[in-house]
Amino acid sequence: MTKQTNRRTFLGQTAAAGAIGVGYWTGTSKQLRAQDSALQGLSAACIGVGGKGSSDASHIAEHGVNLVGLCDVDSIFLEKKALDHPDAEKFSDFREMLEKLGDKVDIVTVSTPDHTHAAAAVRAMRMKKHVYCQKPLTWSIGEARLMRDVAKETGVVTQMGNQGTSEDGLREAVEVIRSGAIGDVSEVHVWSNRPVWPQGQGRPAGEDPVPDTLNWDAWIGPAPMRPFKKAAYHSFNWRGWVDFGTGALGDMACHTTNMPVMALKLWDPVAVTAVKNPGIVEGESYPASSSIVFEFPEREGLPACKFHWYDGGELPSDDLISQLPSRYQKKIAEQRAGGKKNSGALVVGSKGMLFSENDYGARYVLLPRDQYADYELPEQTLPRIPFKGNNDLRQKWEFVASVKGEYEPGTMSNFDYAGRLTETILVGNLALRAGEGQRIEWDAENIKSTNTPAVNEFISREYREGWEI
């Protein structure tokens, strides 16, 4: 048996450690450094190396992983990243890269627009590669369920890039809420300063020449083909288009709702309503602003709860805003006067409230302040990542150390957790397909609406030939 086979057999045996679900950790591990590991030689292929993908690739490499493949549809991004990793092979199509590199790769990172996440990640997992995939985990609800299932079937280590999950502050806030410090929670309110890209418009007319530096066919991937239009889609404005992105909700909710969702087990809503819903514009673009309400039943001893989402400048009621810290109330007043938009998360309990204005839930305050002046934190129940660094580097350490079998708790935002989070969030986008005020009843187990069948066609998509999952 070769040394390469021995290493891969070991990795397969330790992969289960990375698939441990939230709430099942059994202790903490001493701080480890990837470069000091007895198990050397991990290699990775990175799909999408511009923008966030550039730091994703760099962070994996900083934790001792050798980058052997780089893929980007835009040769400008690809060549720039290749300067840092001159020995890595370069590709513009991830299908070709995965086919060619084969057994040379242990880890695959996916940092592409939302619509290609599942096509790349599922292919990699079925090849027994450990996968790090950016948020939201997938473009569609059906893909999120598939990602969960394939991760479970293959036993690979997985992680979604909602890096706030690695923050000690988020984990502490989860423990505070679970301890009952603010009582029974019946309301959660999360508002976002997104979108910060064009949204709420129809498809631009005409067609521009495709730049020689861009593989437009690979950029479109599994989505329906459309003409290239300069600055309309690549490289940032794709988020607002329903064929490629998931709008403000998909972009930020996997960050901003992560803490209350984890604390309150806000899975599987039974209904969702877009109470402010300008609708999908010409079937092409998410609205410029919206307000959505998710309904959750009693679950595992927790009371029924409503989760309110606001984007594009929409905000909770004045009654709730007036209970926030005065400094933050001033920021809201400035927003209403035409200033920059703000973000926040407010968890409303029967005894008090927990408020965070940090997109990752990493910093929070208990309200009213005087009531919690002498509050003592509950016993720690969630592990803390021993690696010291920013949240992005910490999360990558958690992933790489879990692949090596050196971190017993495993990845917190593994695809079982991240898939459930993504499924929950993306049900909200179905509400935008319905009329304003239309309450969509949701059967989470069978991933379908039981009273608004017209939205069910958007649970999954028909993939373009050659890009099937």
Domains belonging to the chain, first-starting first, are 3-164+385-412 (3.40.50.720), 168-200+227-382+419-458 (3.30.360.10)
**Could you tell me the pLDDT band of residue 24, with boundaries at 50, 70 and 90?**
very low
What's the whole-model pTM score? 0.92
Average pLDDT, the chain: 92
What are the tens digits of pLDDT across the range 396-421?
999 999 999 999 999 999 999 999 99
Q: What is the mean pLDDT of residues 13-28?
A: 35
State residue 30's pLDDT score.
32
State residue 13's pLDDT score.
37
39 or 303, which is more confident?
A: 303
Q: What are residue 292's DSSP bridge partners?
A: 274, 309
Q: What is the mean pLDDT of residues 427-435?
A: 96
One-letter amino acid at 4 equals: Q
What are the tens digits of pLDDT across the range 339-389?
999 999 999 999 999 999 999 999 999 999 999 999 999 999 999 999 999
Q: At what angle do helices 415-433 and 247-256 cross, to 10 degrees?
A: 150
CA dist list (Å): 291 to 192, 197, 248, 431: 11, 18, 11, 10
Distance of alpha carbon 226 from alpha carbon 114, whole angstroms: 17
Q: 409 near 20, Cβ under 8 Å? A: yes
Distance of alpha carbon 181 from alpha carbon 116, whole angstroms: 41
What's the order of all strands across the beta sheet hosting 130-133?
89-91, 66-71, 43-47, 107-110, 130-133, 158-160
